[in-house]
Amino acid sequence: MNQGDQEMMELFVQESSEHLQTLETDLIALEATPGEGSLLNSIFRAVHSIKGAAGFFGFDPIVKLAHVMESVMSLLRDGQETVDQDMVTLLISTSDKLRLMLAEPEAAASIPCDDERAGLQAVLDSHLGKKIGPRTPGVVHDAVEPAQQSGGQVGPEAGSYPHEALTGFSFTAASLVEGLKHGQNFYVVRINLGEVQHQGQTLKQFFSEVRSIGSVLDTVLECPADIGLTSAVGVVPVARVFYVTPLEPFILSGALGIEGDQIVEIPSQSLKDWVKATPEGVCAPPPLSVPVAVGSREIVAAAKSPVPAAVESGVSKPAPTQIDPKPVAGQRRKAEETIRINVGLLDTLMNLAGEMVLGRNKLLRLAGGGGAVGDQVELQSIVQDISSVTSSLQDTIMRARLQPVGGLFGKFTRIVRDLSHKLNKEIHLEIFGDDVELDRTLLEGLSDPLTHLVRNSIDHGIERAADRLAAGKSSQGTVRLSAAHLAGRVQIEVSDDGAGMDPERLKAKAVEKGIISADQASRMSDNEAQNLIFAAGFSTAAAVSDISGRGVGMDVVKTNIEKLGGHVELDSRVGQGTRIIIRLPLTLAIIPALIVGCRGASYALPQINIEEIVRPGEDCPLKTIGGARVLELRGQLIPVVDLGEVLGEPSVPCEQFVVLLELDHATFGLVVDEIRSNEEIVVKPLGRHLRLVPYYSGATLLGQGEIALILDPTSIAQGRISAIQKALGTSKTLELQTQPGLDSSRVLVFHAGGVEQLAIHLQHVLRVEAVRAEDLERIGGTECLRKNHDATIRLLSLSELVPVTPPESRPSEFFIIVPRPPYDRIGIVATRIVDSADLPAAQIERGAMAAQGIAGSAVLFDRLTLVLDFSGLIEILAGGSAENQGSLVAEGRFLFTTNPSHHPHHQIKQLPEQSAHS
């Protein structure tokens, strides 16, 4: 196949795939509105186009299947058959087979479609009310055979073809007898009439030769579908000739000057069998023997024709098949290598390219001018022009890469239909924002994750009708897919109004699967429990099915979305449903980036992740706590990672900068040596040899011609931040300390070992650490946790400070709530963390429960909860027993002051810092 043929073939596959997508969507819509004329017409046109194009390429199995489907569509269109669920299922199943055939058109014959063909044929039989003769297994059958327009050979009965290659030809058993009797050979010869002429022969001369060495039993002229007079010019028809001759294939090939692969030998035995079985048999194609040039009218005639077909009776429709609508690899490859672009955009690109050429010509002229006076001014002018054109070119090309998400969303109508039938659930799919555009690379990457999410919503989310009714919902569940632009990103949501996710069930399953311990489960908030679904290997499905339950889906979803530069959020409410929110950048091809320097090399950081650039100093010092480096910034400790250390470069003393990077609700600082520039960079993939190296997402060429590697903040953070978390004691550390702008009404709800549920305002909390009892040390009757050589946290039991029940016993693992500096050397003991919650001041009942250290009470998570007054606690701590105060001072770590300018209450200062600054 030459390049031109290859391109045409790819175009055929792409267009046919689009027709199939239209067809599938319309079929599903037709199920909801049977008899809708515009849908029936659209489906008919789609099938007809596929058939015609396949015929042009000679893909007979595709032509045959499409033809019988087209005939049935004709009956439906004319109201002679009715559309019901079975019919739609049959047609969708046929569409699936066509899709598979299109994936490898040359091997289309290997796709089994007997069930579909038999089902469609049965519809036609049922319409005609006449069935003739037994159907030979494995023999290709055709749809209803009409009379020829003129000069036809069709008798009263049209039968099945004795060989697949003969499809489309008209002949009778009698016409074969002579050749069979003399042991002649039967062939189907494919003749490109244009090539005949290139060999210097007229058609008359060529066919004269053909006739001299054998007999033409029939000829089919093939042209592109729906060829019209305006489009006929330049078209070269192909003749398929059913031919009988005494010559052997290789001699025939030489005699006619035709390549051997254009000659198909028809086994004589199969013809003999056929003639023997049907001595008066007749084979004929649809109305005219120019299948690819067949218009719609004769199809109607075919359906209306009283001529019976030789097919067996009582062929049942195939059972609904579960076909994965995801295109197979080959088809996807071919279809995705091309995109359709608005012609206006192409015109704009062409104009811009013209302007670039003008700019280049000016530069060439200038370069050849020998540096005359005034060249510099002209050069600047040319550079400005080229810069402007380049920007426009970039914008236009980026727009060309954007594709509406509707194309992706469209495939879910089929998935929802199939799965709702399979699971016997009533589900309605709502799609919003299908015109929102996204870079095609992102769209491709989004396909699999969205499929997982939608399947999960249907399988796990939406309840069965009876359960929904019992829960006071409508019997029909809703799955909603939406897309919207949001702050320069695209937000895609998959939501359902199903049962939601029960955190307790998720915890139990996670414990059962060994993903978390029972103790960890008891300390998890509801949201944390729901996020367990993103853990590798997690599934609550009781049994693995072909829909879900292997526990790989959500893990893969999260990973794939993050690879696309996006992130996933989950919001699920028991009994109300689940929302999964995906946020993605618009494009990945050209991104704004900060160019930083480290150990002399340049690196690009995607600006989308950058929150702030900080130069460490007195106001925001870099510190080491627990062996982990942190940046103290506006009262928060932010973990930092040294880029040089990450990359294994030796440290060099220099002024450094910290780039604060935001990742999925966590912030960390990346220490770099230099801030060099801001640039829009073109992302180039890394070569094969670098693909497995972590920390890099690609490479780019900077303005000065220097190559810069593009850093992947997620990858850098994954390895390093977890190490810092370990050093600081718990993974919760970062979550708490990095939540930006903590709302003063937000409280942390916990238990301290007694019967009371307690709450403390999160604005006072630095972090929560998990602690093991065996790690504690006793100093002077006080329990301490030694973090490292210079930091010790003293544990405080609330029952010693405020009127709450003392714990009966302390579990082997528990928590400490560490307040923000300067009180970060004490840890309030908690045995269980319930969750965080909003608690506006007005909702705190400051009556009977209020006491020193307790602001009042409130109902949180259905329980009466004592709300701690942190200031009061500090007062108690500072002005309490001499023993407590003494022990703090004795440790040499805290100085109690009464300077109100430092703190509204008592101030605790670290002595080492105090002395260092004084």
Partner 1 sequence: MSTSTINGALVLRLDSLNKDNAAARAAAIGAALGQAAGVLRIELSGLEGPDAAGLAVLIAASNEARSRSLELQLGLPKELSELAEDLRLGKLAVVESLEVLP
Binding status of residue 208 toward partner 1 by CB under 8 A? yes
Of 560, 558, 564, residue with least CA distance to 531: 558
Residue 766 φ then ψ, to 5°: -85, -50
Least distance from C-beta 353 to partner 1, angstroms? Answer: 31
The residue from 218, 642, 673, 712 that contacts partner 1 (CB under 8 A) is 218
How many residues make contact with partner 1 (CB under 8 A)?
42
The residue from 15, 164, 226, 336 that contacts partner 1 (CB under 8 A) is 226
The residue from 2, 37, 138, 204 that contacts partner 1 (CB under 8 A) is 204
Q: Return the biggest CA–CA distance within the chain.
A: 124
Of 393, 345, 244, 288, residue with least CA distance to 55: 288
Beta bridge partner(s), residue 868: 854
Could you tell me if 673 and 597 are in contact, meaning their C-beta atoms sit under 8 angstroms apart? yes
The residue from 129, 156, 200, 228 that contacts partner 1 (CB under 8 A) is 228
Binding to partner 1, residues 683-742 (CB under 8 A): none
Q: How many whole angstroms separate alpha carbon 143 and alpha carbon 72?
A: 9
Least distance from C-beta 226 to partner 1, angstroms? Answer: 7
Q: What letter does residue 309 receive in the DSSP assignment?
A: B
**Toward partner 1, which CB reaches closer, 211 or 623?**
211
**Toward partner 1, which CB reaches closer, 292 or 453?**
292
Binding status of residue 290 toward partner 1 by CB under 8 A? yes
Least distance from C-beta 245 to partner 1, angstroms? Answer: 13
**Toward partner 1, which CB reaches closer, 260 or 295?**
295
Structure tokens at 560: 């794939």
Binding to partner 1, residues 297-316 (CB under 8 A): 297-298
Could you tell me if 792 and 891 are in contact, meaning their C-beta atoms sit under 8 angstroms apart? yes
Q: What letter does residue 148 receive in the DSSP assignment?
A: P
Show the DSSP H helices in 710-765 as ranges. Answer: 713-728, 732-737
Least distance from C-beta 26 to partner 1, angstroms? Answer: 23
**Toward partner 1, which CB reaches closer, 204 or 689?**
204
Could you tell me if 310 and 133 are in contact, meaning their C-beta atoms sit under 8 angstroms apart? yes
**Toward partner 1, which CB reaches closer, 193 or 423?**
193
Burial 851-870 (b: 16+ CB within 10 A, else e): eebbbbbbebeeeebbbbbb
The residue from 221, 258, 277, 770 that contacts partner 1 (CB under 8 A) is 221
- β-pairing, 907-910 vs 894-897, is antiparallel
The residue from 109, 227, 258, 850 that contacts partner 1 (CB under 8 A) is 227
Which range in 197-205, 408-416, 588-596, 904-912 contacts partner 1 by CB under 8 A? 197-205
**Toward partner 1, which CB reaches closer, 233 or 377?**
233
Binding status of residue 173 toward partner 1 by CB under 8 A? no
The residue from 53, 223, 310, 771 that contacts partner 1 (CB under 8 A) is 223
**Toward partner 1, which CB reaches closer, 304 or 362?**
304
Could you tell me if 250 and 192 are in contact, meaning their C-beta atoms sit under 8 angstroms apart? no
Q: How many whole angstroms separate alpha carbon 359 and alpha carbon 772?
A: 71
Least distance from C-beta 375 to partner 1, angstroms? Answer: 53
Least distance from C-beta 141 to partner 1, angstroms? Answer: 22
The residue from 173, 210, 352, 453 that contacts partner 1 (CB under 8 A) is 210
Show the DSSP H helices in 425-514 as ranges. Answer: 440-456, 465-470, 503-512
Binding mask 116-155 for partner 1 (x = CB under 8 A): --------------------------------xxxx----
Least distance from C-beta 220 to partner 1, angstroms? Answer: 7
Which range in 218-226, 253-261, 417-425, 604-612 contacts partner 1 by CB under 8 A? 218-226
- How far from 103 is each of 100, 110, 330, 538, 878, CA to CA, in Å? 5, 12, 5, 34, 77
Binding mask 232-271 for partner 1 (x = CB under 8 A): xxxxxx-x-x------------------------------
Residue type, 322: Q
Structure tokens at 905: 């209450």
Binding status of residue 605 toward partner 1 by CB under 8 A? no
Of 512, 563, 562, 556, residue with least CA distance to 535: 556
Q: How many whole angstroms separate alpha carbon 182 and alpha carbon 194?
A: 33
Least distance from C-beta 223 to partner 1, angstroms? Answer: 5
**Toward partner 1, which CB reaches closer, 223 or 758?**
223
**Toward partner 1, which CB reaches closer, 118 or 210?**
210
Could you tell me if 190 and 168 are in contact, meaning their C-beta atoms sit under 8 angstroms apart? no
Least distance from C-beta 229 to partner 1, angstroms? Answer: 4
**Toward partner 1, which CB reaches closer, 216 or 895?**
216
Helix, strand or coil for residue 129? coil
Which range in 87-95, 136-144, 178-186, 203-211 contacts partner 1 by CB under 8 A? 203-211
**Toward partner 1, which CB reaches closer, 168 or 597?**
168
Binding status of residue 202 toward partner 1 by CB under 8 A? yes
Least distance from C-beta 196 to partner 1, angstroms? Answer: 7
**Toward partner 1, which CB reaches closer, 148 or 677?**
148
Residue 574 φ then ψ, to 5°: -60, 130
Which range in 65-73, 200-208, 586-594, 869-877 contacts partner 1 by CB under 8 A? 200-208
Binding status of residue 8 toward partner 1 by CB under 8 A? no
- CB within 8 Å of 478: residues ≥ 6 apart: 427, 428, 429, 430, 462, 496, 497
Could you tell me if 50 and 98 are in contact, meaning their C-beta atoms sit under 8 angstroms apart? yes
- Render 667-713 in DSSP notation, one character per residue: EEEEEESEEEEEEEEE-BPPPGGGTT-TTEEEEEE-TTS-EEEEE-H
Binding status of residue 391 toward partner 1 by CB under 8 A? no
The residue from 136, 197, 392, 745 that contacts partner 1 (CB under 8 A) is 197
**Toward partner 1, which CB reaches closer, 296 or 799?**
296
Residue type, 180: L
Of 14, 39, 17, 19, residue with least CA distance to 28: 39
Binding status of residue 11 toward partner 1 by CB under 8 A? no
**Toward partner 1, which CB reaches closer, 40 or 196?**
196
The residue from 107, 203, 367, 889 that contacts partner 1 (CB under 8 A) is 203
Least distance from C-beta 285 to partner 1, angstroms? Answer: 9
Q: How many whole angstroms separate alpha carbon 756 and alpha carbon 772?
A: 22
Least distance from C-beta 172 to partner 1, angstroms? Answer: 14
**Toward partner 1, which CB reaches closer, 193 or 511?**
193
Residue 27 φ then ψ, to 5°: -65, -40
Sheet holding 696-701, edge to edge: 674-682, 590-598, 601-606, 707-711, 696-701
Q: What letter does residue 194 receive in the DSSP assignment?
A: H
Which range in 154-162, 207-215, 339-347, 732-740 contacts partner 1 by CB under 8 A? 207-215
Beta bridge partner(s), residue 478: 428
Question: Omega of the bond prior to 822 within 30 degrees of 0, cis?
Answer: yes
**Toward partner 1, which CB reaches closer, 29 or 216?**
216
CB-CB neighbours of 847 under 10 Å: 8
Binding status of residue 216 toward partner 1 by CB under 8 A? yes
Cα 410 from chain centroid (whole Å):
13
Rounded-to-5 percentages of helix, strand, coil across the chain: 40, 25, 35
**Toward partner 1, which CB reaches closer, 230 or 424?**
230
Structure tokens at 637: 């400790």
Binding residues (CB under 8 A) for partner 1: these are 148-151, 193-194, 196-197, 202-204, 207-208, 210-211, 216, 218-221, 223, 226-237, 239, 241, 288-290, 293, 295, 297-298
